[in-house]
Structure 1
Amino acid sequence: MVEDETSAGTLLGGRLAYRQLRAGHRSGFEPVLMAAFCPARPGARVLELGTGAGAALLCLRARLGGITGIGVERHPALAGLAQANFTGNGFHDLAGLQADATRLPFASQTFQHVMANPPWFAPDGTHSPDSTRALAHHATAELLAGWIGEALRLLRDQGSLTLALPAASFAQAASLLRPACGGITLLPLWPRAGEAAKLILLRARKASRGPDVILPGLALHDEAGITAAAQAVLRDGAALDAT
């Protein structure tokens, strides 16, 4: 990875150094919020599918400490950048792996928690000429099923799967999680209070018989900018109902 190809920034209000590609896919709010919604505890082994430059695992590790994690990324430049970000922050218990998220070299029931923010633009939409952006954004017809299927194979019983998805994918994701999972919890992410959610966070427990829950949700913006509740997560590293 050539340093001139990346830009230097931070996460969690400056607590984490974070480099990402200057061109192509750029991290948004989703990985930080997804990490805040993951119910992992110290000592857990965590897998992230589609880690990009590693933002979600970095934020989870900063909040908890004491976890081990692997971030899987199909694009080799991003996988290398994720590893550099993990090492640069002193998180030697995190590792980046260049691999296809639907065919991973791990035994079944290896991880206690899995996170994923799959590509979600329609496969027949206009593709970016940049390969990293195209991989990060555009879903093939069966991609969500492949990611969820592999996540469930690798997840231990009673382990959690946390997803960041467009709201329109909620029903498809829920149907793919059944019957392996119960206790599906939905957290809507509203652009502003009173507006329809465009994105959701979804969490499920493998082999659980717990009830499904719809949480009150999180408004991201108000007339002053980012809401105080969103800032508590994005800047201060607070958890989002991660019980």
Structure 2
Amino acid sequence: MSQPRRGYRAGVDPVLLAASVGARAGESLLDLGCGAGTAALCAGRRVPGLVLAGLERQAPYAALARRNAADNGLEMTVHEGDLAQMPEALRQCVFDHVIANPPYFRRTASSPAQAEDREAAMGEETPLDTWVEMAARRCKPKGHVTFIHRAERLPELLAAFEARLGSIELMPLVPRPGRESQLVLLRGRKGGRAAFRLHAGLLLHRSATHEGDREDYTEAAQHILRDGAALVFDR
């Protein structure tokens, strides 16, 4: 995967998001705010035959996503446009899976990044409720919407999901033993009727503290991040 030398660079978050999608060959996936295409392309590599699409408002990142898809031998339709005003071609489509890794930080309570492209990726301009609304609109009946986001934003994210989706499932991502969850995966089904489920959290690192630059992912996290394994909610 190619990424910009400066500005926003994808970490493990989109990889974990992609791993959590329970897709099958022949189904379709839309990545809202796809950036360089990390999440969608990770899902496409894990699930051969998955039909991929992305929406990205920054032209350089959209171009990079197309290049990354070509370099990895995957087909991905990347639309350029704003989430709240989607291109007409995308508004005519619905998908089995819609995923998103929205900007994490409300700028009413945090400072903006100096790099313009990094700020666009990390600083919230479009309300989180709009992200969920647009994701639900592009999702097929009985399809799934999955977001990764900060745990502190969970109350408003849950409210947005509950207003538009059912069969909601939550998985905390626990950074280290004894630490509070900083990130969560939230999944809902369009038209779903099952009761809310809170799954056991995925522990990412074995050690309770950071011990230099050596890698100490748990076995489960290692399989997901390095081996392309699925992140199964029913653990």
TM exceeding 0.5:
yes
Within 1, Cα distance between the matches of 2:37 and 2:233? 20
Query: What's the counterpart of residue 208 of structure 1?
Result: 192
Structure 2 matches for 1:9-158, cutoff 5 A?
18-92=1-75, 94-104=76-86, 105=88, 106-107=90-91, 110-124=94-108, 125-140=110-125, 142-158=126-142
Query: What's the counterpart of residue 180 of structure 1?
Result: 164
Query: What's the counterpart of residue 237 of structure 1?
Result: 228
User: Given residue 135 of structure 1, which amino acid in structure 2 is its aligned partner?
Assistant: A
Q: Which moved more, 1:190-199 or 1:215-224?
A: 215-224
Query: What's the counterpart of residue 8 of structure 1?
Result: none
User: Given residue 26 of structure 2, which amino acid in structure 1 is its aligned partner?
Assistant: G
- Do the aligned residues in 2 keep the contact of 1:111 with 1:155 (CA within 8 Å)? yes
Identity %: 36
Per-residue deviation, 1:72:
1.0
Within 2, Cα distance between the matches of 1:213 and 1:102? 30
In the superposition, the TM-score normalised over structure 2's length comes to 0.91
Per-residue deviation, 1:210:
1.1
Length, aligned pairs only: 224
Within 1, Cα distance between the matches of 2:114 and 2:153? 25
Kindly provide the CA deviation profile for residues 115-168 of structure 1, in whole angstroms up to 9, marking residues without a partner as x: 00000112132212211100000013x521111111111111110001000001
- Do the aligned residues in 2 keep the contact of 1:109 with 1:157 (CA within 8 Å)? no
Q: For structure 1, which runs of at least 5 residues remain unmatched after alignment?
A: 1-17
Moved segments of 4+, more than 6 Å: none
- Do the aligned residues in 2 keep the contact of 1:109 with 1:153 (CA within 8 Å)? no
Q: For structure 2, which runs of at least 5 residues remain unmatched after alignment?
A: 208-214
Per-residue deviation, 1:109:
6.3
RMSD value, Cα: 1.5
